[in-house]
Amino acid sequence: MFWSILCSIILVGLSLKIHGLTLNFLSKSISKKFIYKDFIKISVALISSHLIQITLFAYYFYYIFHAYPHLKLFYGHVSGTFLDFFYYSISCYTTLGIGDVYVSGYARIVTGMEALIGLVLIAWTATFKLSYLFKTRR
């Protein structure tokens, strides 16, 4: 359980750092006037940031699935490929929670933290994009 909490803290910290650096880079590199090209740049950079974070969590799930098969942490439609865990991670990060893949045991801690950080960072993304739109309209 200790390792799950520690991994959750590390993954959340990495997610915050990646997203913060992305937003910092974008805020310095976009113009004050609305330019469609800048809006596309913002969108691509932020979606890429989210995908990197989702991939980090997916690697964690992939690792624990293969490192600790005796714990039987994952149930449902899981064949053990990285794409299974990437799909599961997207489902958690976006708080979609489809339910065809689910975890038990200590992996639930990381799953819950991924959902929480995904919710916060998606809201942060929306706020950043809206602030760009509203600043350029003045």
pLDDT at 135 over 80: no
Instruction: State the pLDDT confidence band at 138, using cuts at 50, 70 and 90.
Output: low
CA-CA distance, 111 to 102, in Å (whole number)? 9
- By the 8 A CB rule, do 96 and 53 touch? no
pLDDT given at position 136: 61
The string of pLDDT tens digits covering residues 68-102 is 999 999 999 999 999 999 999 999 999 988 889 98
The string of pLDDT tens digits covering residues 1-43 is 788 899 999 999 999 999 999 999 999 988 888 888 888 999 9
Burial class from Cβ neighbours inside 10 Å (0-12, 13-18, 19+) for residue 51 reads middle
| Reported CATH class of domain 2-137 | mainly alpha
Q: Which residue has the tokens 């974070």?
A: 53
Where are the chain's structural domains? 2-137
Query: What pTM value is reported for the model?
Result: 0.92
Residue 94 DSSP label: T
Q: Where are the alpha helices (DSSP H) in 30-96?
A: 36-67, 82-93
pLDDT given at position 25: 95
